Structure 1
């Protein structure tokens, strides 16, 4: 390596360490609700059941049963994701090997 290559390598290495050591505040990154708003609840009954392993009426019954549970309410400054979305994500994750 010559001096120019060595300097360039050092710059890349410094940038690499800066990225590795940076702190990302995940609470500040806006969540995408596109899947829920534009896909999931527009699925036909068969697609919905295949995706969440539950039919729509049962899903909404579960939402009604859990929506007032204290775990979904806190005094935190971070907004909690809508209960409907949380339930959909949990059911999706439990029913598949995929990540969302």
Structure 2
């Protein structure tokens, strides 16, 4: 048996809007992270000379270090982007859905 509160939530158009927006954002951000990470892994596997090249003539650091660090930083930033929407637009929609459902 289905709970009537859950049924009212699922029938609310704002719930469908929330699910659609949240899913689109999560999939987009996940795709960015996965493509960047797997591209990095493919370069490591098939063209390691690109990443082991020094940053400059006198540098002890290779190109791979800043590239790998950039992937990590971008992942953190994308987490911040998701948190921004989750605590903003998504939270507002969720509050509206809750208010309308409990009336």
TM bin (shorter chain): under 0.3
User: Which structure dedicates a bigger proportion of its chain to helix?
Assistant: 2
TM-score when normalising by structure 2: 0.26
TM-score when normalising by structure 1: 0.27
- Specify which structure has the bigger relative contact order, considering alpha-carbon pairs within 8 angstroms and separated by 6 or more residues: 2
